[in-house]
Amino acid sequence: MLGKEIRLKRLIPGKDGKYFGLTVDHAIARGIVPGLDTIDDTLSKMIAGRPNAITMNKGIADKCFTPYAGQVPLVLKLTTFGIYHFTEDVQIADVEEAVCYGADAVSCGCIVGGDNQDQQINQLAKISKEAHKYGMPLISHIYPRGNRIDKKDQCTVDNVIYAARIAAELGVDLVKTNYTGDPYSFAKVIAAVPTRVAIAGGAKCNNVDEFLQQTRDVIDSGAVGVTYGRFVFQYAHTTALVKALNQLIHNGLSVKETKELLKDLEEEEDK
Protein backbone atom coordinates (compact mmCIF):
# COMPACT_ATOMS: atom_id res chain seq x y z
CA MET A 1 0.00 0.00 0.00
CA LEU A 2 1.27 3.45 -0.91
CA GLY A 3 0.41 4.99 2.46
CA LYS A 4 2.39 2.36 4.33
CA GLU A 5 5.37 2.69 1.99
CA ILE A 6 5.43 6.47 2.45
CA ARG A 7 5.41 6.11 6.23
CA LEU A 8 8.03 3.36 6.21
CA LYS A 9 10.33 5.58 4.13
CA ARG A 10 10.08 8.21 6.86
CA LEU A 11 10.95 5.65 9.54
CA ILE A 12 13.75 4.02 7.57
CA PRO A 13 14.88 6.73 5.16
CA GLY A 14 18.46 5.72 4.46
CA LYS A 15 19.83 3.40 1.79
CA ASP A 16 21.37 1.32 4.57
CA GLY A 17 17.88 0.15 5.58
CA LYS A 18 18.65 0.48 9.28
CA TYR A 19 16.36 1.76 12.04
CA PHE A 20 17.25 3.60 15.25
CA GLY A 21 14.22 4.17 17.44
CA LEU A 22 13.90 5.70 20.88
CA THR A 23 11.12 5.23 23.41
CA VAL A 24 9.62 7.21 26.29
CA ASP A 25 6.59 4.98 26.84
CA HIS A 26 7.68 3.50 30.18
CA ALA A 27 5.61 5.40 32.77
CA ILE A 28 2.51 3.18 32.87
CA ALA A 29 4.50 -0.01 32.45
CA ARG A 30 7.41 0.61 34.81
CA GLY A 31 6.57 3.71 36.82
CA ILE A 32 8.07 7.18 36.61
CA VAL A 33 11.68 6.16 36.14
CA PRO A 34 14.41 8.84 36.27
CA GLY A 35 14.31 10.86 33.07
CA LEU A 36 10.56 10.56 32.63
CA ASP A 37 9.97 12.86 35.60
CA THR A 38 11.45 15.62 33.42
CA ILE A 39 9.83 14.51 30.17
CA ASP A 40 10.05 17.85 28.33
CA ASP A 41 13.79 18.11 28.92
CA THR A 42 14.28 14.43 28.07
CA LEU A 43 12.39 14.74 24.78
CA SER A 44 14.37 17.84 23.84
CA LYS A 45 17.70 16.07 24.37
CA MET A 46 16.67 12.90 22.55
CA ILE A 47 15.17 14.64 19.54
CA ALA A 48 18.21 16.92 19.20
CA GLY A 49 20.21 13.81 18.30
CA ARG A 50 17.81 12.98 15.44
CA PRO A 51 16.79 9.33 15.89
CA ASN A 52 14.71 7.70 13.17
CA ALA A 53 11.59 7.75 15.36
CA ILE A 54 10.37 8.08 18.92
CA THR A 55 7.63 6.03 20.60
CA MET A 56 5.27 7.48 23.19
CA ASN A 57 1.75 7.33 24.56
CA LYS A 58 -0.94 9.64 23.21
CA GLY A 59 -1.10 11.96 26.22
CA ILE A 60 2.62 12.72 26.08
CA ALA A 61 2.39 13.18 22.31
CA ASP A 62 -0.45 15.65 22.77
CA LYS A 63 1.09 17.62 25.64
CA CYS A 64 4.82 17.46 24.90
CA PHE A 65 5.59 16.52 21.28
CA THR A 66 3.95 19.43 19.42
CA PRO A 67 7.13 21.61 19.36
CA TYR A 68 8.90 18.80 17.48
CA ALA A 69 6.20 18.09 14.90
CA GLY A 70 7.85 17.12 11.61
CA GLN A 71 11.35 16.87 13.10
CA VAL A 72 11.27 13.19 14.08
CA PRO A 73 8.63 10.59 13.12
CA LEU A 74 6.14 9.71 15.85
CA VAL A 75 5.31 6.11 16.76
CA LEU A 76 2.12 5.98 18.82
CA LYS A 77 1.88 3.25 21.45
CA LEU A 78 -1.45 1.42 21.29
CA THR A 79 -1.03 -1.00 24.22
CA THR A 80 0.78 -1.26 27.51
CA PHE A 81 1.43 -3.62 30.37
CA GLY A 82 1.65 -2.20 33.88
CA ILE A 83 3.46 -2.57 37.15
CA TYR A 84 0.47 -4.57 38.42
CA HIS A 85 -0.14 -6.58 35.23
CA PHE A 86 3.36 -7.25 33.93
CA THR A 87 2.44 -10.18 31.66
CA GLU A 88 -0.55 -8.65 29.89
CA ASP A 89 -0.66 -5.80 27.39
CA VAL A 90 -4.00 -3.99 27.21
CA GLN A 91 -5.14 -1.63 24.46
CA ILE A 92 -5.06 2.10 25.28
CA ALA A 93 -5.34 3.69 21.82
CA ASP A 94 -6.19 2.70 18.24
CA VAL A 95 -4.94 3.21 14.70
CA GLU A 96 -7.53 5.86 13.88
CA GLU A 97 -6.20 7.98 16.76
CA ALA A 98 -2.67 7.47 15.44
CA VAL A 99 -3.75 8.85 12.07
CA CYS A 100 -5.17 11.92 13.82
CA TYR A 101 -1.89 12.39 15.69
CA GLY A 102 0.09 12.28 12.44
CA ALA A 103 1.95 9.15 13.51
CA ASP A 104 4.17 7.35 11.03
CA ALA A 105 3.72 4.01 12.81
CA VAL A 106 1.92 2.36 15.70
CA SER A 107 3.36 -0.04 18.24
CA CYS A 108 1.61 -2.89 20.00
CA GLY A 109 2.89 -5.03 22.83
CA CYS A 110 2.30 -8.77 23.08
CA ILE A 111 3.37 -11.15 25.85
CA VAL A 112 3.65 -14.81 24.84
CA GLY A 113 4.31 -17.93 26.84
CA GLY A 114 1.58 -17.40 29.40
CA ASP A 115 -1.93 -18.57 30.21
CA ASN A 116 -3.35 -15.52 28.42
CA GLN A 117 -1.31 -15.94 25.22
CA ASP A 118 -4.49 -16.53 23.19
CA GLN A 119 -5.88 -13.14 24.23
CA GLN A 120 -2.57 -11.38 23.57
CA ILE A 121 -2.28 -12.86 20.07
CA ASN A 122 -5.91 -12.05 19.31
CA GLN A 123 -5.36 -8.42 20.30
CA LEU A 124 -2.26 -8.15 18.11
CA ALA A 125 -4.10 -9.73 15.17
CA LYS A 126 -6.96 -7.22 15.43
CA ILE A 127 -4.57 -4.27 15.59
CA SER A 128 -2.63 -5.68 12.62
CA LYS A 129 -5.84 -5.81 10.60
CA GLU A 130 -6.70 -2.21 11.51
CA ALA A 131 -3.17 -1.00 10.74
CA HIS A 132 -3.30 -2.63 7.31
CA LYS A 133 -6.63 -0.95 6.60
CA TYR A 134 -5.13 2.50 7.25
CA GLY A 135 -1.76 1.85 5.60
CA MET A 136 -0.06 2.27 8.98
CA PRO A 137 3.24 0.47 9.72
CA LEU A 138 2.95 -1.78 12.77
CA ILE A 139 5.76 -2.35 15.25
CA SER A 140 5.23 -5.17 17.74
CA HIS A 141 6.98 -5.28 21.11
CA ILE A 142 6.72 -9.03 21.58
CA TYR A 143 8.40 -10.87 24.43
CA PRO A 144 8.44 -14.50 25.70
CA ARG A 145 7.85 -13.68 29.34
CA GLY A 146 4.46 -15.21 30.18
CA ASN A 147 3.98 -17.11 33.43
CA ARG A 148 4.90 -20.45 31.80
CA ILE A 149 8.42 -19.27 30.91
CA ASP A 150 11.11 -19.04 33.58
CA LYS A 151 12.83 -15.69 33.76
CA LYS A 152 16.16 -17.33 32.89
CA ASP A 153 14.64 -18.59 29.61
CA GLN A 154 13.18 -15.31 28.35
CA CYS A 155 16.16 -14.64 26.07
CA THR A 156 16.84 -18.14 24.76
CA VAL A 157 17.02 -18.48 20.99
CA ASP A 158 14.05 -20.82 20.73
CA ASN A 159 11.77 -18.64 22.84
CA VAL A 160 12.77 -15.42 21.10
CA ILE A 161 12.31 -17.01 17.67
CA TYR A 162 8.87 -18.25 18.70
CA ALA A 163 7.78 -14.81 19.89
CA ALA A 164 9.21 -12.91 16.92
CA ARG A 165 7.80 -15.39 14.42
CA ILE A 166 4.30 -14.94 15.88
CA ALA A 167 4.56 -11.24 15.10
CA ALA A 168 5.73 -11.95 11.55
CA GLU A 169 2.90 -14.45 11.04
CA LEU A 170 0.40 -11.75 12.03
CA GLY A 171 1.70 -9.19 9.52
CA VAL A 172 3.89 -7.00 11.73
CA ASP A 173 6.24 -4.70 9.81
CA LEU A 174 8.96 -4.46 12.46
CA VAL A 175 9.45 -6.80 15.41
CA LYS A 176 10.98 -5.49 18.62
CA THR A 177 12.05 -8.34 20.90
CA ASN A 178 14.59 -9.57 23.43
CA TYR A 179 18.25 -9.80 22.52
CA THR A 180 19.64 -13.32 22.85
CA GLY A 181 22.97 -12.03 24.13
CA ASP A 182 25.34 -12.47 21.20
CA PRO A 183 25.30 -11.78 17.44
CA TYR A 184 25.63 -15.44 16.45
CA SER A 185 22.51 -16.63 18.24
CA PHE A 186 20.58 -13.51 17.26
CA ALA A 187 21.43 -14.17 13.61
CA LYS A 188 19.37 -17.36 14.00
CA VAL A 189 16.41 -15.20 15.03
CA ILE A 190 16.88 -12.98 11.98
CA ALA A 191 17.01 -16.03 9.70
CA ALA A 192 13.81 -17.51 11.12
CA VAL A 193 11.69 -14.35 11.07
CA PRO A 194 10.66 -13.00 7.63
CA THR A 195 10.22 -9.37 8.63
CA ARG A 196 12.36 -6.59 10.10
CA VAL A 197 13.74 -7.39 13.56
CA ALA A 198 15.15 -4.97 16.13
CA ILE A 199 16.17 -5.44 19.74
CA ALA A 200 14.34 -3.90 22.66
CA GLY A 201 17.04 -2.33 24.76
CA GLY A 202 18.97 -5.56 24.90
CA ALA A 203 20.67 -7.02 27.94
CA LYS A 204 21.33 -4.72 30.87
CA CYS A 205 24.64 -2.99 30.20
CA ASN A 206 26.93 -1.89 33.01
CA ASN A 207 28.54 0.95 31.09
CA VAL A 208 28.56 2.76 27.78
CA ASP A 209 31.35 0.56 26.38
CA GLU A 210 29.18 -2.53 26.79
CA PHE A 211 26.21 -0.64 25.37
CA LEU A 212 28.07 0.37 22.21
CA GLN A 213 29.48 -3.14 21.76
CA GLN A 214 26.00 -4.61 22.07
CA THR A 215 24.70 -2.19 19.45
CA ARG A 216 27.52 -3.04 17.05
CA ASP A 217 26.90 -6.77 17.58
CA VAL A 218 23.17 -6.41 16.92
CA ILE A 219 23.72 -4.55 13.66
CA ASP A 220 26.36 -7.09 12.60
CA SER A 221 23.91 -9.93 13.28
CA GLY A 222 21.70 -8.67 10.46
CA ALA A 223 19.06 -6.95 12.58
CA VAL A 224 17.33 -3.92 11.10
CA GLY A 225 18.30 -1.94 14.16
CA VAL A 226 17.59 -1.09 17.78
CA THR A 227 14.98 0.59 19.93
CA TYR A 228 16.44 2.13 23.07
CA GLY A 229 14.97 3.93 26.05
CA ARG A 230 16.26 4.11 29.59
CA PHE A 231 19.99 3.71 28.96
CA VAL A 232 19.86 6.61 26.49
CA PHE A 233 17.65 9.07 28.35
CA GLN A 234 19.36 8.35 31.68
CA TYR A 235 22.83 8.85 30.20
CA ALA A 236 24.59 12.04 31.31
CA HIS A 237 25.05 13.25 27.71
CA THR A 238 21.88 12.04 26.02
CA THR A 239 22.14 14.07 22.82
CA ALA A 240 25.78 13.13 22.31
CA LEU A 241 24.96 9.45 22.74
CA VAL A 242 22.08 9.60 20.25
CA LYS A 243 24.32 11.30 17.68
CA ALA A 244 27.08 8.75 18.20
CA LEU A 245 24.65 5.83 17.92
CA ASN A 246 23.37 7.27 14.66
CA GLN A 247 26.86 7.07 13.22
CA LEU A 248 27.42 3.52 14.46
CA ILE A 249 24.08 2.25 13.16
CA HIS A 250 23.83 4.12 9.87
CA ASN A 251 27.43 4.76 8.86
CA GLY A 252 29.14 1.61 10.12
CA LEU A 253 31.43 3.10 12.74
CA SER A 254 33.34 0.60 14.86
CA VAL A 255 32.99 0.62 18.62
CA LYS A 256 36.39 2.30 18.93
CA GLU A 257 35.44 5.01 16.43
CA THR A 258 32.09 5.55 18.13
CA LYS A 259 33.71 5.91 21.55
CA GLU A 260 36.09 8.53 20.17
CA LEU A 261 33.21 10.40 18.54
CA LEU A 262 31.15 10.22 21.72
CA LYS A 263 34.00 11.67 23.75
CA ASP A 264 34.31 14.60 21.33
CA LEU A 265 30.55 15.21 21.37
CA GLU A 266 30.45 15.11 25.17
CA GLU A 267 33.26 17.66 25.37
CA GLU A 268 31.32 19.91 22.99
CA GLU A 269 28.21 19.65 25.17
CA ASP A 270 30.22 20.55 28.27
CA LYS A 271 31.64 23.77 26.80
Q: In angstroms, how far is the first alpha carbon of the chain from the final one?
A: 48
Backbone angles phi, psi at 225, to 5 degrees: 165, -150
Quote the CA–CA distance of 30 and 51 in Å, as a whole number.
Answer: 23
Helix axis angle for 157-169 and 117-134, nearest 10°, is 40
Query: Does 143 participate in catalysis according to the annotation?
Result: yes
Query: Does 176 participate in catalysis according to the annotation?
Result: yes
Quote the CA–CA distance of 105 and 98 in Å, as a whole number.
Answer: 8
Catalytic, out of 18, 45, 176, 243: 176
With vertex at residue 80, the alpha carbon angle to CA 234 and CA 42, rounded to the nearest 5 degrees, is: 25
Catalytic, out of 18, 19, 101, 143: 143
Quote the CA–CA distance of 205 and 226 in Å, as a whole number.
Answer: 14
> Would you name the residues annotated as active-site residues?
143, 176
